């Protein structure tokens, strides 16, 4: 991934939108930035040329 600030800014905007949508649906979510990209690519179908910036798991929060 090129070190282009716009890529990371846009990723931040997407993350913010996801947080807002999750909250409106009463879902919990968290962003994860510390992970093994190669292990994630082994689990899901993502082109080798693509770069994963962060992961966003969703779920039902504990009461």
Helix, strand, coil content of the chain in percent (nearest 5) = 45, 10, 50
User: Residue 29 pairs with which residues in a beta bridge?
Assistant: 58
pLDDT tens digits for 22-60?
999 999 999 999 999 989 988 999 888 888 999 999 999
Is residue 3 over pLDDT 60? Answer: yes
Task: For residue 40, give every residue at least 6 positions away whose Cβ sits within 8 Å of its Cβ, in sequence order, or none.
Answer: 46, 52, 55
**What is the spatial distance between Cα 18 and Cα 29, in angstroms, rounded to a whole number?**
8
pLDDT band of residue 2 (cuts 50, 70, 90) is: low
Is pTM, for the whole model, over 0.85?
A: no
């Amino acid at each position: 991934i090129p070190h282009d600030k716009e890529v990371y800014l846009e990723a931040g905007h997407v993350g913010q939108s996801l947080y807002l949508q999750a909250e409106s649906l009463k879902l919990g979510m968290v962003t994860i930035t510390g992970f093994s990209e190669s292990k994630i690519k082994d689990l899901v179908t993502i082109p080798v040329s693509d770069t994963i910036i962060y992961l966003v798991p969703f779920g039902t929060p504990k009461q």
